[in-house]
Amino acid sequence: MKKPVIVESLLKNAAPWRIVLFSFFLRLGFLLLVCLKAESLNVFTRSDTPPYLTLARELLSSGSFTNGLTPEVFRTPAYPVFLIPGLISGHVEIVTALIQIVLSSLTVYLVFKTALIIFEDETAARAASILYAFEQLSIVYSLILLTETLFTFTLMWFLFYVVKLLKTPSVRYAVAAGIFVAVCSYIRPVSLYLSTATVIFLGIYLLFLKNRQERKRLFINTILLLLISLSLTGLWQLRNFKETGYSQFSSVSDFNLYFYHRVSIMSKNEKLPFYQVQYAEEKKFQHIVKELGFIGSLAYMHKEALNVIEENAAIFAVTYIKGIAAVLLSPGATEYAQLLSYKGKTDIFDGTLDSSFLQVFKEALLQAPLLFTLNVLFGLLLVLYYLLMAMAAINIKKTDPANLFMFLILAYFLLLSGGVTGYGRFRHPVMPVVSILGGYGVALILAKVTRIKISKPLK
């Protein structure tokens, strides 16, 4: 029986370089469309962009990592350094977007290579790369001056080398994984504990290895990975302590605990809008800084936030789970609307901070029916990715550590992205993993529909 044309194309013509090239031109075409419609270059920036640009300009002008007044301990240096070529060119938005398009396209290739190592199946690997080529967050954030694209690209290198390490223990894979996970932390501090989580995972896997020589090799490589990552991130902690007396890697976690998680609890208890309470707390905190000093105020933030969370654990838990749901389910169409200079209301889902999802959806449908409909369509595509991933999860070999490591990555980033800080953009780093698993789901479907044998069954 003749195979369907689409299946033939997927199996024979979808060479990795063609998928990467398609991904590049898809994102480049979207950039050109945005440039044609944009009234100003501000469409490429978001509220977090100006601080990164300030830090990059300070690095260029003085060689120091300061926010213009004091040494910076909130943001980390990797993305400001990444912005420097664009600043030098005088066209930071366009140049940075072009570089990010290249990185996003290369991430497609890393998805292919990682999936190929895990599943040892060309169909699954090609399907995974095609899924990521079309993934809506990867497309839109390749144009926006935020850390997402650089972070996900670096994270995929880390995943690639850990998977290689699991398949064939090697010092060079351990060294590379340790370096890349440390670089991830310099881009976004959320990955600071990823090396520890990985080492715990590898340690558990060691217990199940029967071959003594393999166990010894993996143990040495695991320790090497941990030492390299901790040493590299420790350098920045030493810098922070030397410059300010603050011994942590970044103050972002204290800030989020105090001004987001704590404030969300207060807004619930006081029955006031979140941003109203946050604004009032920011004003109060200015006096706390004057009274306690910089280091003292950071310690106060951490302690006070944890006290409020401990006293209101039930409220915090509900809000945190709601945030994880927002990360998982936010479709992302709003970012497209903002880039394309949509004239209507774009922040149609912001009300989830103070209201139920159902109430916010009703108001969004009434206020911006077109954008709401687009979000629904994007949401359906997202559900398709999840269904394909679920199909893979049911059928993959549960004892393969590389498969299990993919789910560790999913759990790590989702569990750290909850609460009121949970936005759809924080799903960006895990979408390559969703695509990798979804690619195997596609391969399973094709195998059933066309009776094509998967090269190495994993059931």
* C-alpha–C-alpha distance, residues 178 and 180, integer Å: 6
For residues 319-329, average pLDDT: 92
Tokens of 66: 């300061």
Beta carbons within 8 Å of 175's beta carbon, 6+ residues apart = 224, 225, 228
Tokens of 290: 């004057």
Q: Would you state the pLDDT for residue 378?
A: 93
Pick 14 or 415 by higher pLDDT: 415
Please name every residue paired with 66 in a beta bridge, in sequence order, or none if there are none.
71
* C-alpha–C-alpha distance, residues 43 and 65, integer Å: 26
SS3 66: strand
* C-alpha–C-alpha distance, residues 47 and 65, integer Å: 20
43 to each of 240, 335, 338, how far by Cα in Å? 33, 10, 7
Burial (0-12, 13-18, 19+ Cβ within 10 Å), 281: middle
Q: Would you state the pLDDT for residue 69?
A: 83
Kindly state the helix (H) or strand (E) to which residue 76 belongs, with its residue range. none
186-206 pLDDT, tens digit per residue, is: 999 999 999 999 999 999 999
* C-alpha–C-alpha distance, residues 32 and 433, integer Å: 29
R_g over Cα of the chain:
23
* C-alpha–C-alpha distance, residues 395 and 197, integer Å: 25
Residue with tokens 């910076």: 72
Burial (0-12, 13-18, 19+ Cβ within 10 Å), 23: buried
pLDDT-derived band at 397, boundaries 50, 70, 90: confident
For residues 202-221, average pLDDT: 93
421-449 pLDDT, tens digit per residue, is: 878 899 999 999 999 999 999 999 988 88
Residue with tokens 């106060």: 300
Asked if 76 and 248 count as a contact pair (C-beta separation under 8 A), the reply is: no
User: E-strand spans in 91-192?
Assistant: none
3-state helix, strand, coil in the chain (%, to 5): 80, 0, 20
Closest CA to 248 of 232, 237, 235, 234: 237
